[in-house]
Structure 1
Amino acid sequence: MDLSTLKTVPGSRKARTRKARGFAGKGKTAGRGQKGQKAREGKKLRLSFEGGQMPLMRRMPKRGFNNFNHKEFAVVNLSELNKFDDDANVDVASLKEAGIIKKELSGVKILASGKLEKKLTIQAAKASKSAQKAVEELGGKIELTSKD
């Protein structure tokens, strides 16, 4: 056996479709139908074009307002921070490691839901005033990393 005797497996190679060659299969109109804009040579229509009819995306009603500057924060409640030891430094990496948040998004926001029982130093993008007050009452502090 040598390279000159090798043959492909039957069915593994398929000849390309030769359109517009004769009348059988994809001959004559080459699968484009009879006449019309899409049958012409050089047809270039955008994806949503519907032949002059008002396109679906323009017919659908628009609702609301989507702010492209919107920032979404990963929310952490005070009760979830009881997992950490006393005098621990809590930042994004430690919150991910503890399984409290999955994604950082635009940053972490601390909310005052639940009761905190430990003194912690927390680094977050935002925090509610009541959460800051609750942490400071226990002798901890919240360092805000974001300016807004």
Structure 2
Amino acid sequence: MDADVRDLRAADHLLHTLAAELALPEGAFGCTHLVRGERPRVTLSLALPSEPLLRTAQERLTAGGHEVSPGAPDAVGRAVIYPGVSALTGTLTVADVLSRSAIDRVTVLGTPGRPAPDTPLMTAGHVRPQWLDGELVLTAMPAVGGTLVPFEVPEPTPCCADH
């Protein structure tokens, strides 16, 4: 769906609003996709657990004035809504993240292997994995005291903010 959104925070908010309006079931996925080129923007995709639910969502979105087309814009969507996302709050172990959500794998920037299952991950309530080669992968980075944090932070500092 192309809602002419220009930034990720607005796209996240729109996905949550649409999920509430459409009463999306637990098995739903809502992703953002960066579109570059002449008109840079963030598009949205929804994947629902059944064809009838998908058709109903498409009809309701189209009736609401949204431009809807079939399929995802690319295979590298950034997941905002996915099974288990609501359980990913506070500090959890990597094993907890994998068992409580649809996330398939956790990787750590700058390291070749996977983190140990008992490694703590401080979520800050903002966990945005990406689809990579058919797997939902959360990229994390090392933090204080041997913990990890998701690579994407909820409120990033704009580039050159101190100038």
User: Is TM (by shorter chain) over 0.5?
Assistant: no
The structure carrying a bigger helix percent of its residues is: 2
The structure with more radius of gyration: 1
Which bin holds the TM-score, normalised by the shorter protein?
under 0.3
Structure with the larger RCO, 1 or 2 (CA within 8 Å, 6+ apart)? 2
TM-score (normalised: structure 1) = 0.22
TM-score scaled by length of structure 2: 0.21
